[in-house]
């Protein structure tokens, strides 16, 4: 079953299972996601479904996008995204996809953007140990030697150096679904996944199985 839904990370909490054991879960508001466009291999070169998520004021949506949404009979949305599918005939513009689609799913993959950390040094970014903390060492949190004096006279590619940290796309795989709340469009996922509270995430049925 190949489909994806867009959601918003609400935060983390804990719930109790049937045996009264504590489970740490992440709360995600999933959908509702209206289908905006259905792409077919004959017309577009590949099979895909474009969906939307979130409310948006009409004057904040670019006019070409607004016309695109009105053609499908969809109200202005804040996020547009598409996913590949082998059965585009199962979808039609204006159709609403909800968290109900995860009722029969046991595990999911969650794709999110990690928290941005700004410009960081190698100690924070790569867990370098750093140098002596005593006075006069002149080497506390630096990265050490980076290049050569004469040959080849440059810094080798992929050398770990200070730089921008975070704000990258990451996927957490095989997360167990603990509870599906259809009335409030809420999905409880066991454990944690990348992203800040309020961040937009993509949720799909798990692609890979657990390692044996």
Give CA separation, 85 vs 3, 14, 104, in Å: 7, 34, 18
What is the C-alpha separation between 52 and 142, in angstroms, rounded? 46
Q: Specify whether 178 is located in the same domain as 100.
A: yes
Pairing state of beta strands 48-55 and 77-84? antiparallel
Per-residue H/E/C for 24-35: EEEEEEECCEEE
Q: Is residue 109 part of a domain?
A: yes
Q: Specify whether 42 is located in the same domain as 135.
A: no
What are the backbone dihedrals phi and psi of residue 10, each rounded to the nearest 5 degrees, phi first? -90, -40
Q: Specify whether 53 is located in the same domain as 24.
A: yes
Q: Specify whether 21 is located in the same domain as 75.
A: yes
Q: Look at residue 19 in the predicted model and tell me its pLDDT.
A: 87
Give the containing element (helix H, strand E) for 65.
helix 63-71
Q: Specify whether 70 is located in the same domain as 9.
A: yes
Other CB atoms within a 10 A radius of the CB of residue 80 amount to: 18
Give CA separation, 125 vs 131, 160, 196, in Å: 16, 9, 18
Q: Look at residue 198 in the predicted model and tell me its pLDDT.
A: 94
Write out pLDDT tens, residues 8-46.
Answer: 999 999 999 888 899 999 999 998 999 999 999 999 999
Q: Specify whether 139 is located in the same domain as 35.
A: no
Q: Look at residue 1 in the predicted model and tell me its pLDDT.
A: 54
pLDDT at position 210 over 80? no
Q: Look at residue 41 in the predicted model and tell me its pLDDT.
A: 92
Going by C-beta distance under 8 Å and a sequence separation of 6 or more, which residues neighbour residue 199?
A: 8, 9, 112, 113
**To the nearest whole percent, how much of the chain has pLDDT over 70?**
98
Structure tokens at 141: 């949190």
What is the C-alpha separation between 200 and 111, in angstroms, rounded? 9
Range of the domain at 200: 5-117+170-205
Q: Specify whether 80 is located in the same domain as 21.
A: yes
Q: Could you tell me the pLDDT band of residue 144, with boundaries at 50, 70 and 90?
A: confident
Q: Specify whether 57 is located in the same domain as 135.
A: no
Q: Look at residue 75 in the predicted model and tell me its pLDDT.
A: 93
Q: Specify whether 122 is located in the same domain as 201.
A: no
pLDDT at position 140 over 80? yes
pLDDT at position 212 over 70? no
Where among 165, 180, 195 does a domain terminate? 165
**Model pTM score:** 0.85
Q: Is residue 93 part of a domain?
A: yes
Going by C-beta distance under 8 Å and a sequence separation of 6 or more, which residues neighbour residue 17?
A: 23, 178
Q: Specify whether 93 is located in the same domain as 136.
A: no
Number of domains in the chain: 2
Q: Is residue 188 part of a domain?
A: yes
User: What is the mean pLDDT of the segment spanning 143-172?
Assistant: 90
More confident residue, 212 or 127: 127
Q: Specify whether 192 is located in the same domain as 128.
A: no
Sign, Cα dihedral of 117, 121, 123, 126: positive
Q: Look at residue 37 in the predicted model and tell me its pLDDT.
A: 94
Q: Is residue 210 part of a domain?
A: no
Q: Specify whether 101 is located in the same domain as 189.
A: yes
Q: Is residue 212 part of a domain?
A: no
Q: Is residue 55 part of a domain?
A: yes
């Amino acid at each position: 079953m190949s489909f994806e839904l867009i959601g918003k990370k609400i935060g983390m909490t804990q719930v109790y299972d049937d045996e009264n054991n504590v489970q740490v879960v992440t709360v995600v508001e999933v959908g509702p996601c209206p289908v905006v466009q259905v792409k077919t291999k004959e017309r577009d070169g590949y099979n895909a479904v474009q969906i939307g998520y979130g409310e948006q004021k009409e004057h904040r949506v670019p006019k070409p996008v607004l016309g695109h949404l009105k053609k499908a009979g969809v109200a202005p949305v804040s996020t547009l995204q598409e996913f590949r599918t082998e059965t585009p005939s199962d979808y039609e513009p204006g159709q609403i996809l909800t968290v109900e689609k995860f009722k029969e799913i046991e595990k999911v993959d969650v794709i999110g953007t990690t928290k941005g950390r700004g410009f960081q040094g190698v100690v924070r970014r790569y867990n370098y140990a750093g140098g002596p903390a005593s006075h006069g060492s002149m080497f506390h949190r630096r990265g050490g030697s980076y290049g050569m004096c004469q040959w080849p006279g440059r810094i080798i590619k992929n050398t770990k150096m200070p730089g921008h940290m975070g704000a990258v796309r990451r996927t957490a795989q095989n997360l167990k679904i603990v509870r599906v709340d259809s009335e409030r469009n809420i999905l409880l996922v066991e454990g944690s996944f990348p992203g800040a509270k309020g961040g937009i995430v993509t949720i799909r049925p798990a692609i890979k199985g657990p390692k044996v």
